[in-house]
Amino acid sequence: MAQDTGGVKDAGRWITAAKPDYTALIDEKQIVTQRYGMVNVPTAVWIDERGRIVRPNEVAFIDDRFKSFTKMESAPYIEAIRDWVQNGSKSAFVLSESELKARLKPQSDSRARADVEFALGEYLYKSAKGADAIPHFKEAQRLDPDNWNYKRQAWALADADRDYGTNFRKEVEKLNGRPYYDSH
Amino acid sequence: MCKHFLVLMIVLTSGGFAAGQRTRTIVYDGIATEVSVSAAAANDLWITTSDLMRATRFAIKPQGICRDELCFPLPKNRKAEFLARKDATNWFNLTEFARLIKQPYVVDQKNAVWYFGSPAAEQNRYLASLEAPNFTLPDLNGKLHSLSDFRGKKVLLVTWASW
């Protein structure tokens, strides 16, 4: 699910290069980010044959190319996926209902408002009102400050330094060693 | 021909741009619709009941504000906050309704766009059912796929981005 306001123009060449044998979709409005309350990429959700969530949002690397930055190993996660494919609901990595309910939280009011500010920004951007979109993207970022999707997408649509007074590298430096990915 | 043109001009001038009315864009369920608004509307968005149907598919029924099987009763002692009749037109306060159903919305005054998001109950429904929220999105060729198409298979849903 490409979380890309630019749609095929931005995501298309990556999908073409990957030659996927799985279904690769393009999500221009970041609907998946919004409905599942995601804050970063890559994020994965495990969904069983009945359409029920069995592992909610978590970081999902399929190789170690970003390991120096993320400090995360991909191998245990890939093994967990294989275990689920093989053992289904008996897999130790499938969470129980009580574990799931402990992890899944109702959307906060500020996240709800951030989603709608971001969506309005996206609408204005697509209506050739890119400059008018910026205040709404900024408000979305202020309301949901840990949401990297809403930061990085907005910066990518503008001149981040000029329009937002920052950029991805500067914001990562500000973390000062705190993890870029929430690793529950 | 000329006469038809004149009639068309009159219709255009009176439709939505008559004295005391202005137009707004409402985005509801991700779909944009142009509507007329009451000039009295300052912070609130009062729209005609026919625009309500056009922009949101909600209709006013005896049991409340309804769409498909879903109905929201209006609080009995507060009906005047939602419904008004003025200039031979029935008006509905869409922003008061949004507050009633805990639906977030935001306005861009410069472009006169009102954007309505998902009501909290709808957004949070999956927390009780654990059913993965459905969506329908295109692939590279524009073909639409829904999550629900994959029932009977395990789905590893992975997000990524070019940025």
B111-131: pLDDT as tens digits: 999 999 999 999 999 999 999
Question: Mean pLDDT, to the nearest integer, of A131-138?
Answer: 98
DSSP B9-70: HHHHHHTTTSTTEEEEEEEETTEEEEEEEETT-SSS-EEEHHHHHHHH--EEETTEEEETTE
pLDDT of residue B72: 97
Q: State what percent of residues in chain A have pLDDT above 90.
A: 86
Residues of B in contact with A38 (CB under 8 A): 159
Q: How confident is the model at residue A124 (pLDDT cuts 50, 70, 90)?
A: very high
- Among A45, A21, A16, A50, residue whose Cα is nearest residue A33: A45
- Among A146, A162, A156, residue whose Cα is nearest residue A7: A156
Alpha carbons B154 and A49: distance in angstroms, whole number: 5
Partner B contacted by A32 (CB < 8 A): yes
pLDDT of residue A97: 94
Q: B150 burial class (0-12, 13-18, 19+ CB within 10 angstroms)?
A: middle
Cβ <8 Å between A4 and B162: yes
Residues 35 through 64 of chain A touching chain B, CB cutoff 8 Å: 35-36, 38, 41-53, 60
Cβ <8 Å between A112 and B113: no
Q: Which chain A residue's Cα is nearest to B116?
A: A116
Cβ <8 Å between B161 and A115: no
Q: Which chain A residue's Cα is nearest to B144?
A: A25
Rounded to the nearest angstrom, the minimum Cα separation between A8 and chain B is: 7
Q: How confident is the model at residue A176 (pLDDT cuts 50, 70, 90)?
A: confident
pLDDT of residue A182: 66
Indicate the average pLDDT of chain B.
88
- Locate A19 and state its tokens: 């030659």
Q: What is the ipTM of this complex?
A: 0.94
pLDDT of residue B41: 60
pLDDT exceeds 90 at position B90 = yes
- What is the longest distance spanned by two Cα atoms in chain A? 52
Cβ <8 Å between B157 and A119: no
pLDDT exceeds 70 at position B4 = no
Q: Which amino acid is at B17?
A: F
Pick B8 or A123 by higher pLDDT.
A123
Partner B contacted by A85 (CB < 8 A): yes
| Structure confidence by residue, pLDDT tens digits, B12-68 | 443 333 444 588 999 999 999 999 887 666 689 999 999 999 999 999 999 999 999
Chain A / chain B CB contacts < 8 angstroms? 173
Mean pLDDT check: name the lowest of A8-22, A59-73, A146-160, B12-26: B12-26
How far from the centroid of its chain's Cα atoms is residue B97's Cα? 11
Q: What residue spans define the domains of chain B?
A: 17-127
- Identify the H or E element spanning B86: strand B83-86
Alpha carbons B113 and A103: distance in angstroms, whole number: 36
Cβ <8 Å between A123 and B113: yes
| Structure confidence by residue, pLDDT tens digits, A64-99 | 888 877 788 899 999 999 999 999 999 999 999 999
Partner B contacted by A24 (CB < 8 A): yes
Q: Which chain A residue's Cα is nearest to B115?
A: A120
What phi and psi values does residue B156 have, to the nearest 5 degrees? -100, 105
Give pTM, 2 decimals: 0.90
Q: State what percent of residues in chain A have pLDDT above 70.
A: 98
pLDDT of residue A180: 82
pLDDT exceeds 80 at position B2 = no
pLDDT of residue B21: 54
